Structure 1
Amino acid sequence: MSADFPLGEVIVESIRQGTYVKCTAVHVATGREAVAIGPVHEPKAVERLAVAKLRRMLATG
């Protein structure tokens, strides 16, 4: 699988924890999840990181 394959449906949840945001991305078809934590003022960057980690996880098996 290449890094640009379509993921399908992904559920993304972000929870603020003090000065940080925790973002969890779940691949609906497999139930696999990836988590990223980063500064609360950059929530979209943390979301992109969680989805990128999920994509890499699915690509490697």
Structure 2
Amino acid sequence: MSREPNSGEIYLEFRSIGRQVQVIAMDAATGIEVSAFGPTSASQTDLKRIAIRKLQRRIEQEREAAGTGSDPTLY
């Protein structure tokens, strides 16, 4: 069993902060991380969808900034 992150693998963390929930999404392969906030009344599925979409957009922006279609690197 390999400990290397798989392409497309995303880690999610949910944190309650008062009447809000912070969702942190991190791409395992690139280490790119974003966060999103929502009310505690929002469903976890909706918050997850928002955070993943925000992460995907950020990865797209990193690729565009690099001028390539390949995965961005942090080095």
TM-score bracket, shorter-length normalisation: 0.7 to 0.9
Q: Distance in 1 between matches of 2:18 and 2:37?
A: 12
TM-score w.r.t. the length of structure 2 is 0.67
Query: Larger strand proportion, structure 1 or 2?
Result: 1
Ranges of 4+ aligned residues in structure 1 off by more than 6 Å = none
Provide the aligned C-alpha RMSD in A.
Answer: 1.2
Query: More relative contact order in 1 or in 2 (CA 8 Å, sep 6+)?
Result: 1
| Distance (Å, rounded) in 1 between the aligned partners of 2:39 and 2:58 | 23
Identity over the aligned pairs, expressed in percent? 33
Normalised to the residue count of structure 1, the TM-score between the two structures is 0.81
In structure 1, runs of 5+ residues without a counterpart are: 1-6
